[in-house]
Structure 1
């Protein structure tokens, strides 16, 4: 399964729409997860224009008063939507991946900055995950967290980062998730002046995902329309 993830930093504007349409086509995307869309109203026509196809499903989590915002989109020919759950900072979409006739759960995350808010989200997602033990699970997004200190450069707040790292790794371990091997850039977010950079965006998958796609990797693309890089999860093996 081919999934694209990007914190797009505002979905408005033709340049970003053109870029998104380009990478969807270039990567043959089957599912797309966007964060920080900053849109409160969305429609089928807007979705179709972004993807360049009219056989696309979508779910929008508007965030709070238009701030933030999360959008999940998928190609209906390869992903049969079953349901969705929206919470503060996430969208969970279970569906059937048609090519393999398997139940997949795609989680789109846009985590808050504060550790306390993230802790609430970790608990909510862990509860949902506990009810889907045998499903193929993919959790991606802007986690606003790192796993080790080396994934942040030029960022202050050492004490809070230590707790962030501990809580994030605890969430990963608790849900038996595995991070896909990284190809490309080491960091996914860059401050405009280059003085700070972090690895905030990633793909975490279940063991069942790796059984289906054992050669899966996450590829970090060049940063073009946002302060975040788009990342793509894909496998060299044929689906």
Structure 2
């Protein structure tokens, strides 16, 4: 989190994925404040723990939503933060371990020995280990280095022996895993979900970013052009990032040609154009005017947009005395609500018998349909 770019990426990732628990390694920060953590998360309904490491090196940060995770206690040591608590949605007692393993062999062995002892003396059955283990499973996974592989199988064996069954239990509870693209870091963020919620996209009539696309003025059918030509900005951005990552891997292996470098430069240029379109879309969705002409205050628009989303968000409904967050059930109950509220009936219950309406007399009606005289026209014109 050494700069604003990484902090902005974290805020976007947390907001986009609706994160409930976040583990960050190598924060490079000696101290953190409530204000900094609240800024990263987007609101103040969170708990957090920070391990400062060795003068910022190997520092760790664990953050969680108080609405989703109830904190009980924690343990903290060199290279780890263990947070005990209850996952409120399923009333599940669990331990979330934020890990950063040093590259030094003896330090790794000490770390895993200490974590194994903590696990052995704990009554908690569900554990999640998140972080940077600084290890690979095989030589073929190593990139950009020719050093000896000395610790990988040791760590894998220790993991299998000590926490294999617990990780299996955790995978059954949180079966969805999504590895993000590398954008601002040399590591990939991993998103773990218990279920994939599809709320279907909301309709939006006009997008200012359309005017930034070449050929927009000559397009025919707007719906077809938007789907086939303009496309989804986020999907296009992910595809470009994946292509850039392929070129980066070739560069690490020394197989990147000059023509491939030119292609990579073109992809970076297209990525910048997509970022501009995405910023325009965010400003428009925030429904706020520019503070002044040319002021790209993205933090203001992100906070405004997040505030609107939090205010308008429907997380779930109560059905038969039970709270439900399943998207299909929420949509069905919302449909029933509006059908009931706006359903027409034969008897509207409105009586106008005693109401006296003003009416025009026969003389007034005749004056309205009589042709204009020449004198009346002259008086109006001159």
TM-score (norm 1): 0.78
What is residue 218 of structure 1 aligned with on the other side?
Answer: 177
Determine which of 76, 79, 82 is the counterpart of 1:92.
82
Alignment of 1:29-40 (within 5 A): 29-40=19-30
- Once the two structures are superposed, residues 156-175 of structure 1 have per-residue CA deviations (whole angstroms, 9 ceiling, x without a partner) of 222xx1x3112111221121
Indicate the SS of the match to 2:29.
Answer: coil
- Once the two structures are superposed, residues 57-104 of structure 1 have per-residue CA deviations (whole angstroms, 9 ceiling, x without a partner) of 000000011222100000010101111111111111011101111111
Looking at CA atoms only, which structure, 1 or 2, has the larger radius of gyration? 2
* Unmatched segments (≥5 aa) in structure 2: 198-324, 326-382
Contact 1:33 1:72 in 2 (8 A): yes
Distance 2:3 2:163 in 1: 39
> RCO (CA 8 Å, sep 6+): is it higher in 1 or 2?
1
Q: Does 1:74 align with 2:71?
A: no
Distance 1:71 1:177 in 2: 25
Distance 1:148 1:78 in 2: 37
Determine which of 176, 179, 183 is the counterpart of 2:163.
176
- Once the two structures are superposed, residues 143-193 of structure 1 have per-residue CA deviations (whole angstroms, 9 ceiling, x without a partner) of 0011222221332222xx1x3112111221121327xxxxxxxxxxxxxxx
Indicate the SS of the match to 1:166.
Answer: helix
Distance 2:3 2:158 in 1: 36
Distance 2:168 2:182 in 1: 30
Determine which of 156, 164, 170 is the counterpart of 1:209.
170
Indicate the SS of the match to 1:129.
Answer: helix
Distance 2:151 2:108 in 1: 9
Deviation at 1:234, TM superposition (A): 1.6
Distance 1:177 1:27 in 2: 27
Alignment of 1:37-186 (within 5 A): 37-132=27-122, 134-158=124-148, 161=149, 163-177=150-164
Distance 1:127 1:151 in 2: 30
What is residue 12 of structure 1 aligned with on the other side?
Answer: 2
- Once the two structures are superposed, residues 106-155 of structure 1 have per-residue CA deviations (whole angstroms, 9 ceiling, x without a partner) of 00011100111100001001011112354211001010011222221332
Alignment of 1:186-201 (within 5 A): none
Distance 2:130 2:156 in 1: 15
Contact 2:180 2:189 in 1 (8 A): yes
What is residue 232 of structure 1 aligned with on the other side?
Answer: 191
Kindly tell me the number of residue pairs found equivalent between the two proteins: 198
Distance 1:218 1:114 in 2: 29
More strand, by proportion? 1
Say what the alpha-carbon RMSD is for the aligned residues: 1.8
Contact 1:146 1:168 in 2 (8 A): no
TM-score (norm 2): 0.49
Distance 1:102 1:236 in 2: 16
